[in-house]
């Protein structure tokens, strides 16, 4: 009888110990994050830890006790891996979110535009008649604004995990007349020697929500934890404020 009581007592202690650990077990939950090249917020020309959006997302999730891993993808491949469930979330996504689930808040807003060789620069993009027969590169998977989509420009897809840099390079070399950039702010300036021959204009009045896409296979409880951590971070210090204060 003593042995049975001793055994039960040990089992009781073990059960209490396991219950005590349960609140902390979620602290090691890993969030698999896919990244798409989106300068200046995420640039595949630099290490992940130097990209401000990566820093922000990492801080938001690790502060909530989550472990974060990052993997770089071309835009098209990233969407495939997201749908397969190989990654939990993918960012940034600048579509309207109608066909893809996203976190409850956009991470930031962007104003897309076109980048040209300086001698061919069109400063006012509302003059869409000037797009006639221009060969314009568009990163694959990126939706273009209606004035460009409805114009007589010739749109071609630019693929690859560095599609934005490749599009700028093709424009510089004259292989493209222009390149559609989802966020051309700060692409060219006097300190950026790579783009010294390029000038960009924005489609004013066409600000886009830029979102974080979620895998359709993500468990609801994991989604809630990720979304809660992200919303909390945005309310305390939005990414746009973080970016403006660190650039």
Residue 55 scores a pLDDT above 60: yes
The edge-to-edge listing of strands for the beta sheet with 178-181 is 154-158, 135-139, 178-181, 113-117, 198-202
- Phi (first) and psi of residue 60, to 5 degrees: -60, -40
Question: Both 89 and 105 in a single domain?
Answer: yes
pLDDT tens digits, 157-184 = 998 767 888 898 899 899 999 999 887 8
Question: Both 236 and 189 in a single domain?
Answer: no
Q: How confident is the model at residue 38 (pLDDT cuts 50, 70, 90)?
A: confident
Average the pLDDT over 195-223 and give the result. Answer: 89
Kindly state whether residue 36 falls inside one of the protein's structural domains: yes
Number of domains within the chain: 2
CATH classification at residue 170: 3.40.190.10
The Cα–Cα gap between 234 and 212 comes to 13
pTM: 0.70
Q: What are the distances in angstroms from CA 45 to CA 48, 124, 163, 194?
A: 9, 30, 12, 12
Question: Both 58 and 98 in a single domain?
Answer: yes
In this prediction, residue 25 carries a pLDDT of 45
Burial of 202 (C-beta count, 10 Å sphere; 0-12/13-18/19+): middle
């Amino acid at each position: 009888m003593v042995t049975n009581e001793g055994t039960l007592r040990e089992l009781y202690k073990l059960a209490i110990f396991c219950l005590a650990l349960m609140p902390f077990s979620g602290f090691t939950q890993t969030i698999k994050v896919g990244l798409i090249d989106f300068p200046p917020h995420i640039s595949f020309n630099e290490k992940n830890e130097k990209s401000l959006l990566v820093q922000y997302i990492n801080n938001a999730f690790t502060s909530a006790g989550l472990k974060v891993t990052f993997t770089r993808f071309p835009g098209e491949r990233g969407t495939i891996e997201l749908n397969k469930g190989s990654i939990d979330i993918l960012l940034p996504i600048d579509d309207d979110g109608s066909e893809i689930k996203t976190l409850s808040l956009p991470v930031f807003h962007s104003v897309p535009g076109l980048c040209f060789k300086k001698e061919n620069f069109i400063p006012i993009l509302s003059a869409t008649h000037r797009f006639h027969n221009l060969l314009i590169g568009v990163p694959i998977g990126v939706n273009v604004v209606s004035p460009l989509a409805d114009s007589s420009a010739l749109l071609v897809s630019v693929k690859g995990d560095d599609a934005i840099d490749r599009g700028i390079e093709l424009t510089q070399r004259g292989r493209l007349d222009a390149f559609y950039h989802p966020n051309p702010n700060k692409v060219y300036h006097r300190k950026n020697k790579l783009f010294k021959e390029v000038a960009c204009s924005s489609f004013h009045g066409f600000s886009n929500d830029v979102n974080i896409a979620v895998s359709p296979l993500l468990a609801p409880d994991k989604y809630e934890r990720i979304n809660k951590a992200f919303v909390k971070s945005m309310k305390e210090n939005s990414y746009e404020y973080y970016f403006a204060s660190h650039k």
